[in-house]
Amino acid sequence: MDAPLPGRHNAITDVAGVLVGHVTRDEPGWLTGVTVVVPPPGTVGGVEVRGGAPGTRETDLLDPTCLVDRVDAVVLAGGSAFGLACADGALQGAYAAGLGWCVGEPHEVVPVVPAAAVFDLGRGGAFGRHPDAADGRAAYVGAT
């Protein structure tokens, strides 16, 4: 079998319809950030959670036995458990765009935004500085 060929940028954005937004907080006292991946509508998600203290949100929804089978955005954040708040901002962005699991009338949707966070507290920035919902919203809105 031949080795796969790299894409134009050799990045996730080489996949048609995949958008990525990022916010980096590297001003004095900060060294963290958040990335939001916005897949094409109808994208099915999956996850493998490992580690001794995983920081996740809504990853259980990606179990194949669950009712929900698609994602509207995926959040990858710094800030440990605090950084999971970035998903609130991405969720609001997806909701404003009309994306989500329909739970009633066509406009009554709940976006599916699983998230994971890494522990970077005190790793170059101050321990109490972590990305938040505003950073998650900015990353979602800035996805290109």
Specify if 118 maps to a domain.
yes
Specify if 11 maps to a domain.
no
Return the pLDDT at 23: 99
Return the pLDDT at 1: 72
Specify if 5 maps to a domain.
no
pTM of the shown model? 0.93
Specify if 12 maps to a domain.
no
Query: CA torsion 57→62→68→71, rounded to 10°?
Result: 70
| DSSP assignment of 71-117 | -S-EEEESSHHHHTTHHHHHHHHHHHTT-SEE-SSTT-EE----EEE
Q: Give the CATH number for residue 107.
A: 3.60.70.12
Specify if 88 maps to a domain.
yes
Q: Check the CA dihedral 67-71-77-79 and report its sign.
A: negative
Q: How confident is the model at residue 142 (pLDDT cuts 50, 70, 90)?
A: very high
pLDDT at 33 over 80: yes
Q: How confident is the model at residue 6 (pLDDT cuts 50, 70, 90)?
A: confident
What's the domain count of the chain? Answer: 1
Return the pLDDT at 46: 92
Adjacent-strand bridge partners of 21: 36
**pLDDT tens digits for 100-125?**
999 999 999 999 999 999 999 999 99
Q: Which of 1-15, 29-43, 80-94 has the lowest mean pLDDT?
A: 1-15
Specify if 28 maps to a domain.
yes
**Among all chains, which residue has been given the structure tokens 């994602």?**
71
- C-alpha–C-alpha distance, residues 84 and 102, integer Å: 24
Burial class (CB in 10 A: 0-12, 13-18, 19+), 4: exposed
Return the pLDDT at 85: 99
Specify if 8 maps to a domain.
no
Domain containing residue 94 = 18-141
Specify if 13 maps to a domain.
no
Query: CA torsion 91→92→96→98, rounded to 10°?
Result: 20
When the pLDDT of each residue in the chain is averaged and rounded to a whole number, the result is 95
